[in-house]
């Protein structure tokens, strides 16, 4: 892969993001209600005061003009102020991003650690009892609602056993790694289970496909062990399609996990999104969605690169 | 404010509180929520107590016409004089003076300040500060609800804020007040930690300096099931204002007490006069009122709320009229009303008249589990009298927008008022919260009299006529008085819910923690 190719890809991202931002801006403004509706609950906010707020945030301008204003400030790195909290959008997102990355990252890692062995085992022992049991577990993982699983785990580990804190990010005054891990355990497990189940199914079918190929038969004929065959030939090829799936899921880390974050009172991006949506906090919403889009675009790019690394037959540029 | 004088008071300890909403700002005038955290940090001149009666805080007495604190001019102007407590200091050590009170008004009414609440600031013409401890507030008109607004919410420190842009000032995340607790740390989406203010001006009856608690941690827990788990696991000691459904589940759990408190809120079924013509027909509204059994609504809500007959809740003893007419539950009579008015049933059992089918949408706020349950009951009850309802629930802003624009047929909702309620905002022809499009000159006049009248007996009569008109015209059916339901650890003592929009934490200085969990039986027996 040449540097020129990479640069071309990166430059291609810019018009894509512009188009995305235009669509998002339109969609957000099409939703009923506006940020000032929260003030309607309060009879003492006079029409004059509302007018002032409207002008202060440029909400009195036509939507296309608002878009251009937003774009201009985005380009120079000013993401505006949250209408709800009056704080800079970048500060709002910056406050929440670490929690989301920690949760999403650990959940992904956990999912990968689960999915790889399960996928390989079920593919190698197709139609065995082990395959049936693991398949059943995988489908349970896919179909059990996240909120139910979360509640059950809280009931078991927090109320009945008292081993883990039921919710939260840290205990105030305790900045230790152990405390962090205790808070992380349940949400990361809950979040990873559904993903792991999906990935293992994906790996299983992709591996089964590969195992039917001629070169695998040849490898066995040449006296290759199962382990050697997996490591040298099959797994590498079987992982190529999985990389696409994983990269797309990676991007979703940035967008947060709304349900998991809400149930475990996790101060992440997903909850910020819901609050901002409920309050029609346009600047924060746009900031969040653009961050998510950027992550998705970059994840795709990363997937392309990963292809090339894993599969020498794929070459770009 | 007299403090608890129980001999067993044990100062110290950390109380962890579960808040069900994510805080936006800690500026009382800018937040979109009730200021739970703020009430422990920032004080006003007066504050409503547990009976919704005003008590002096930073003022030495509550001004009334009787004590000379309020002077009424013949031309309708009103002058309210507050004498301030001496020796009070801000949490940064600077003295609190009349200039701070005047600055608060100037800051809040400043159009550049994007306040959520500018309540009362527009009615004030000027403020005089003859000396450091005297404030004379000159109102343009008589205002019976003056105490519910501006200076009750809290006073802003002039020395820290004058000349600043209040919209983006660090004060909004780290307010400085005169209150019993000061902000130590605010982690967005996570928690707010308050530490005891060691220089707080108030003492208890035994001369001990308040507050008793060393620290309060407010944990933000947006999911009510999780809130229940946390209190059961002992991770939080107080969860104020929980849904009835959760309280029902927590009742009887080890070490947990459910504390009910009166509230100035009420739940109601509103009709929009802007849509379906049949809802403008009083006969239909009367039939609907008679088809709803409040007792079933109460039972479904775990027995917590109380059935009501008027938008004035019984807690407001000065204004509530217990004799106001109410249409009792009587589906037979409701059916007869509709039959007589010519609303004939179709083959599917749903009535119609001249092509107007009695089929409507009913709107409640999505996620308000208690309201959604009530909504389902109402749908079932109206089916009995041949009226078809389908749920048309909305979230957040969409719900508010529908409510304020009247873009619904029927709406199940709640209002809560200050200790001095103003009803014209809800039912006045030009009331800002009147999205229903209901208009009555007669009612407007009754409410105008009520809101400018300062004499209690006359106020009671004005309130009665307002209630009678609402009961006759039925723009809204008052159904349940909201009861504040709070879950707390039985270690927490001295806690009494506050019924007003000033939140329970206005009384936090006298709360304290028993060092160990007490068996519920011992509590009931009296001595722990």
Please choose, from the candidates A105, A263, A125, A262, the residue with its C-alpha nearest in 3D space to the C-alpha of residue A195: A105
Q: Is residue A118 part of a domain?
A: yes
Q: Is residue A205 part of a domain?
A: yes
Distance from CA of B386 to the nearest CA of A (A): 32
Q: Is residue A39 part of a domain?
A: no
Q: Please answer yes or no on whether B223 and A272 come within 8 Å at the CB atom.
A: no
Q: Which of A43, A98, A149, A266 is the best substitution to test chain B (most B C-beta atoms within 10 A)?
A: A43
Considering only B240-244, B416-420, B491-495, which range has the smallest mean pLDDT?
B416-420
**Cα–Cα distance between B227 and B241 in angstroms, integer?**
11
Considering only A96-105, A219-228, B426-435, which range has the smallest mean pLDDT?
A219-228
Could you report the predicted ipTM of this complex, rounded to two decimals?
0.80
Looking at residue A315, its pLDDT comes to: 59
Backbone angles phi, psi at B413, to 5 degrees: -150, -175
Q: Is B436 on the interface with A (CB under 8 A)?
A: no
**Cα–Cα distance between B453 and B431 in angstroms, integer?**
19
Q: Please answer yes or no on whether A39 and B167 come within 8 Å at the CB atom.
A: no
Q: Is residue A10 part of a domain?
A: no
Of the two residues B151 and B198, the one the predictor is more confident about is B198
pLDDT band, residue A3 (cuts 50/70/90): confident
Q: Please give the residue range of the domain that contains residue A237.
A: 97-310
The tally of domains found in chain A comes to 1
Of the two residues A147 and B518, the one the predictor is more confident about is A147
The structure's pTM equals 0.83
Beta bridge partners of B485: B260
Of the two residues B199 and B502, the one the predictor is more confident about is B199
Among all residues of chain A, which has the CA nearest to that of B395? A278
pLDDT band, residue A5 (cuts 50/70/90): confident
Q: Is residue A74 part of a domain?
A: no
Mean pLDDT on B171-190:
94
| Chain B residues in contact with A44 (beta carbon < 8 A) | 117-122, 149
Looking at residue B258, its pLDDT comes to: 95
Is it the case that residue B100 has pLDDT exceeding 80? yes
Of the two residues A72 and B271, the one the predictor is more confident about is B271
| Chain A residues in contact with B25 (beta carbon < 8 A) | 85-86
Q: What is the DSSP string of B323-374?
A: T-------HHHHHHHHHHTT-EE-TTS-EEETTEE-EEEEE-BTT-HHHHHH
Looking at residue B421, its pLDDT comes to: 85
Instruction: Tell me the pLDDT tens digit for each residue of A123-147.
Output: 888 888 988 998 888 888 888 888 8
Residue labelled with tokens 């774009």:
A71
Domains of chain B: 8-27+179-255+490-527 (3.40.190.10), 42-169 (3.90.76.10), 265-483 (3.10.105.10)
Q: Please answer yes or no on whether B32 and A84 come within 8 Å at the CB atom.
A: yes
Instruction: Tell me the pLDDT tens digit for each residue of B458-502.
Output: 999 999 999 999 999 999 999 999 888 999 999 999 999 988 778
Looking at residue B467, its pLDDT comes to: 96
Looking at residue B136, its pLDDT comes to: 96
Looking at residue A302, its pLDDT comes to: 81
pLDDT band, residue B285 (cuts 50/70/90): very high
Looking at residue A46, its pLDDT comes to: 64
Percent of all residues in chain B with a pLDDT value above 70, rounded to a whole number: 96
Mean pLDDT on B113-127:
83
pLDDT band, residue A280 (cuts 50/70/90): confident
Residue labelled with tokens 């006003």:
B44
Average pLDDT, chain B: 90
Looking at residue B274, its pLDDT comes to: 93
Q: Please answer yes or no on whether A167 and B221 come within 8 Å at the CB atom.
A: yes
3-class secondary structure, B493:
strand
Q: Is B185 on the interface with A (CB under 8 A)?
A: yes
Of the two residues A103 and A175, the one the predictor is more confident about is A103
Average pLDDT, chain A: 84
Q: Please answer yes or no on whether A267 and B220 come within 8 Å at the CB atom.
A: yes
Is it the case that residue B521 has pLDDT exceeding 80? no
Of the two residues B349 and B112, the one the predictor is more confident about is B349
Looking at residue B524, its pLDDT comes to: 42
CB nearest to B398's CB, from A32, A46, A265: A32
Q: Is B223 on the interface with A (CB under 8 A)?
A: yes
Q: The CATH number of the domain where A211 resides is what?
A: 1.10.3720.10
Interchain CB contacts (distance < 8 Å): A and B: 152
Q: Please answer yes or no on whether A85 and B24 come within 8 Å at the CB atom.
A: yes
Instruction: Tell me the pLDDT tens digit for each residue of B329-339.
Output: 999 999 999 99
User: What is the Cα A114 distance to its own chain's centre?
Assistant: 18
Q: Is residue A280 part of a domain?
A: yes
Instruction: Tell me the pLDDT tens digit for each residue of A7-40.
Output: 887 888 888 888 988 988 888 888 776 777 666 5
Looking at residue A152, its pLDDT comes to: 92
pLDDT band, residue A274 (cuts 50/70/90): confident
Q: Which of A35, A42, A280 is the best substitution to test chain B (most B C-beta atoms within 10 A)?
A: A42
| Chain B residues in contact with A42 (beta carbon < 8 A) | 116-117, 119
Among all residues of chain B, which has the CA nearest to that of A35? B397
Looking at residue B527, its pLDDT comes to: 38
**C-beta separation of B318 from B312 below 8 A:** no
**C-beta separation of B325 from B471 below 8 A:** yes
Q: Which of B150, B229, B517 is the best substitution to test chain A (most A C-beta atoms within 10 A)?
A: B229
Which whole-number Å values give the CA distances from A108 to A184, A217, B261, in the listed order? 13, 33, 46
Q: Is B329 on the interface with A (CB under 8 A)?
A: no
Looking at residue A314, its pLDDT comes to: 64
Mean pLDDT on B400-412:
90
Which whole-number Å values give the CA distances from B253 to B61, B233, B234, B370, B398, in the listed order? 42, 11, 11, 21, 37
DSSP assignment, residue B188? T
Distance from CA of A52 to the nearest CA of B (A): 7
Is it the case that residue A43 has pLDDT exceeding 70? no
Mean pLDDT on B387-397:
89
CB nearest to A86's CB, from B119, B167, B219: B167
Q: Is residue A77 part of a domain?
A: no
pLDDT band, residue A312 (cuts 50/70/90): low
Say which residues have a Cβ less than 8 Å from residue A214's Cβ, sequence separation at least 6.
Answer: none
Of the two residues B182 and A218, the one the predictor is more confident about is B182
pLDDT band, residue A316 (cuts 50/70/90): low
| Chain B residues in contact with A175 (beta carbon < 8 A) | none
Is it the case that residue A251 has pLDDT exceeding 50? yes
pLDDT band, residue A71 (cuts 50/70/90): confident
Looking at residue B517, its pLDDT comes to: 56
Percent of all residues in chain B with a pLDDT value above 90, rounded to a whole number: 66
Q: Is residue A109 part of a domain?
A: yes
Looking at residue A52, its pLDDT comes to: 75
């Amino acid at each position: 892969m040449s540097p020129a190719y990479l640069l071309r890809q990166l430059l291609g991202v810019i018009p894509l993001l512009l188009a995305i931002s235009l669509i998002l801006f339109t969609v957000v403004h099409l939703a009923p209600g506006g940020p000032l509706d929260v003030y309607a609950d309060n009879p003492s906010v006079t029409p004059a005061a509302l007018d002032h707020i409207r002008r202060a945030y440029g909400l009195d301008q036509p939507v296309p003009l608002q878009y251009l204003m937003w774009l201009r400030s985005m380009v120079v790195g000013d993401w505006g102020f949250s209408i709800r909290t009056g704080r800079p959008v970048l500060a709002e997102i910056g406050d929440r991003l670490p929690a989301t990355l920690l949760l999403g990252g650990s959940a992904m890692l956990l999912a990968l650690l689960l999915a790889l062995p399960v996928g390989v085992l079920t593919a190698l022992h197709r139609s065995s009892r082990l395959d049936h049991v693991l398949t059943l577990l995988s489908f349970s993982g896919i179909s059990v609602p996240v909120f139910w699983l979360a509640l059950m785990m809280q009931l078991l580990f927090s109320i009945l056993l008292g081993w883990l804190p039921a919710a939260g990010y840290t205990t105030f005054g305790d900045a230790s790694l152990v405390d962090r891990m205790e808070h992380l355990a349940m949400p990361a497990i809950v979040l990873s289970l559904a993903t792991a189940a999906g990935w293992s199914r994906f790996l299983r079918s992709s591996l089964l496909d590969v195992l039917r190929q001629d070169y695998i038969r040849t490898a066995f004929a040449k006296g290759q062990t199962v382990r050697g065959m997996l490591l040298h030939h099959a797994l590498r090829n079987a992982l190529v399609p999985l990389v696409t799936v994983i990269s797309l899921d990676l991007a979703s880390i940035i967008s947060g996990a709304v349900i998991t974050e809400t149930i475990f009172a996790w101060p992440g991006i997903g909850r910020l999104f819901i609050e901002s949506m409920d309050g029609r906090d346009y600047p924060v919403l746009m900031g969040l969605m653009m961050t998510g889009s950027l992550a998705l675009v970059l994840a795709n790019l990363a997937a392309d690169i990963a292809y090339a690394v894993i599969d020498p037959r794929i070459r770009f540029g | 404010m007299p403090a608890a004088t129980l001999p067993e008071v044990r100062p110290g300890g950390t109380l962890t509180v579960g808040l069900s909403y994510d805080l936006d700002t800690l500026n009382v005038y800018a937040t979109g929520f009730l200021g739970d955290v703020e009430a422990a940090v920032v004080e006003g001149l007066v504050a409503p107590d547990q009976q919704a009666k005003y008590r002096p805080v930073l003022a030495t007495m509550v001004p009334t016409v009787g004590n000379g604190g309020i002077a009424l001019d013949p031309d309708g102007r009103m002058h309210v004089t507050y004498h301030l407590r001496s020796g009070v200091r801000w949490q940064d050590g600077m003295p609190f003076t009349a200039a701070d009170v005047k600055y608060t008004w100037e800051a809040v009414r400043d159009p550049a300040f994007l306040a959520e609440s500018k309540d009362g600031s527009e009615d004030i013409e000027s403020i005089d500060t003859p000396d450091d401890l005297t404030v004379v507030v000159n109102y343009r008109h008589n205002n019976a609800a003056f105490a519910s607004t501006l200076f009750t919410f809290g006073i802003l420190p002039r020395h820290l804020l004058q000349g600043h842009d209040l919209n983006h000032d660090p004060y909004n995340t780290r307010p400085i007040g005169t209150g019993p607790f000061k902000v130590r740390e605010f982690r967005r989406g996570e928690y707010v930690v308050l530490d005891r203010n060691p220089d707080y001006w108030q003492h208890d009856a035994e001369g001990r300096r308040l507050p008793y608690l060393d620290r309060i941690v407010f944990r933000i827990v947006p999911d009510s099931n999780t809130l229940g788990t946390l209190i059961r696991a002992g991770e939080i000691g107080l969860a104020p204002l929980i849904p009835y459904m959760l309280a029902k589940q927590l009742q009887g759990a080890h070490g947990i007490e459910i504390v009910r408190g009166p509230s100035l809120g009420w739940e109601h079924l509103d009709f929009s006069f802007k849509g379906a013509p049949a809802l403008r027909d009083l006969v239909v509204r009367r039939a609907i009122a008679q088809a709803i059994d409040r007792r079933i609504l109460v039972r479904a809500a775990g027995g917590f709320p109380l059935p009501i007959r008027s938008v004035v809740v019984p807690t407001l003893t000065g204004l509530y009229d217990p004799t106001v007419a109410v249409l009792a539950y009587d589906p037979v009579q409701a059916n007869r009303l509709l039959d007589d008015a010519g609303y004939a049933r179709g083959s599917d059992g749903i009535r119609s008249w001249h092509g107007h089918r009695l089929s409507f949408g009913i709107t409640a706020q999505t996620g308000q589990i208690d309201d959604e349950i009530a909504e389902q009951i109402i749908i079932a009850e109206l089916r009995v009298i041949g009226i078809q309802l389908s749920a048309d629930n909305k979230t957040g802003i969409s719900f508010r927008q529908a409510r304020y624009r009247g873009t619904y047929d029927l709406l199940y909702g709640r209002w809560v008022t200050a200790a001095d309620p103003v009803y014209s905002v809800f039912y006045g022809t030009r009331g800002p919260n009147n999205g229903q499009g209901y208009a009555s000159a007669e009612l407007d006049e009754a409410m105008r009299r009520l809101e400018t009248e300062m004499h209690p007996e006359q106020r009671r009569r004005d309130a009665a006529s307002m209630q009678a008109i609402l009961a006759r015209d039925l723009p809204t059916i008052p159904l349940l008085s909201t009861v504040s339901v709070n879950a707390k650890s039985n270690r927490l003592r001295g806690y009494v819910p506050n019924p007003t929009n000033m939140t329970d934490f206005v009384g936090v200085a006298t709360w304290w923690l028993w060092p160990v969990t007490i068996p519920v039986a011992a509590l009931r027996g009296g001595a722990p």
